[in-house]
């Protein structure tokens, strides 16, 4: 068994003590590895294994690679589907076949769990179950539509526009999985700021291209 996998699995404790098991992302990844055997873990397996936690888990797993340059647009469409479903009030995701069959290699998942940024590691220290407005059904809908906004920004990448929305969405998803209203709220603020920044950059690029074409023709 891979040494990283052994270390991650060793961090998982019984469910009642789960929040003493180390950084949330590493613990969540270890839980995925426990519940979904095999070298390739499909999104459908995750959705089935995690039930009402599946939205947050799947969005988190899709967002982590989005921090890697040139990878963000690959995961934008699945995130858009999940965001719209959640925004429309679904409690568990209903994945179309092409999305359910999409897989993440176990080794890649473990590497992503260890590549969290310094700021994300700081936020992880404060994540814990805290019910509130953002863990309510209305909060879930807001989460979903904001995730759909992020997905559109990832599908239409511009220079420097992927990272801020994706980072905020990771914080949101981490709070959702852990039922932490404060962290979800923090993630929403970061996400909204990142999406506004990305929208402005893309609008300026579009204006620049249109102006250049107008000058040429």
User: Which residue ranges in the chain fall short of pLDDT 70?
Assistant: 1-23, 66-73, 110-119, 217
DSSP assignment string, 102-165: -EEEHHHHHHHHT---HHHHHHHTT---B-SGGGSHHHHHHHHHHHHHHHHHHHS--TT-SHHH
Structure tokens at 126: 């404060």
For the segment 107-158, what is each residue's pLDDT rounded down to a tens digit?
A: 777 666 665 556 677 777 888 889 999 999 999 999 999 999 999 888 887 7
Q: Which pLDDT score, from 0 to 100, does residue 87 have?
A: 94
Q: Which pLDDT score, from 0 to 100, does residue 5 have?
A: 44
- 188, 143 contact by CB (below 8 A): yes
First CA to last CA distance, the chain: 62
| Nearest Cα residue to 61 out of 70, 74, 69 | 74
Structure tokens at 71: 């990878």
Distance CA 85, CA 94 (A): 8
């Amino acid at each position: 068994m891979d040494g990283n996998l052994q270390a991650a699995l060793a961090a998982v404790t019984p469910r009642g003590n789960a929040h003493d098991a180390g950084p949330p992302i590493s613990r969540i990844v270890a839980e995925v590895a426990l519940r979904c055997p095999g070298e390739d873990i499909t999104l459908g397996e995750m959705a089935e294994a995690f039930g009402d936690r599946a939205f947050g888990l799947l969005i988190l797993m899709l967002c982590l690679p989005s921090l890697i340059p040139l990878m963000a647009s690959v995961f934008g469409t699945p995130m858009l589907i999940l965001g719209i479903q959640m925004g429309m009030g679904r409690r568990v995701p209903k994945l179309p076949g092409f999305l359910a069959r999409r897989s993440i290699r176990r080794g890649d998942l473990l590497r992503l769990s260890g590549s969290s940024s310094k700021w994300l590691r700081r936020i992880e220290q404060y994540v814990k179950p805290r019910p509130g407005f953002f863990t309510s059904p209305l909060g879930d809908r807001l989460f979903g539509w904001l995730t759909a906004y992020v997905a559109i920004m990832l599908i239409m990448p511009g220079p420097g526009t992927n990272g801020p929305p994706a980072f905020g969405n990771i914080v949101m998803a981490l709070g959702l999985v852990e039922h932490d209203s404060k962290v979800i709220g923090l993630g929403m603020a970061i996400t909204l700021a990142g999406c506004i920044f990305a929208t402005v950059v893309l609008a300026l690029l579009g204006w620049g291209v249109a102006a250049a074409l107008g000058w040429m023709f």
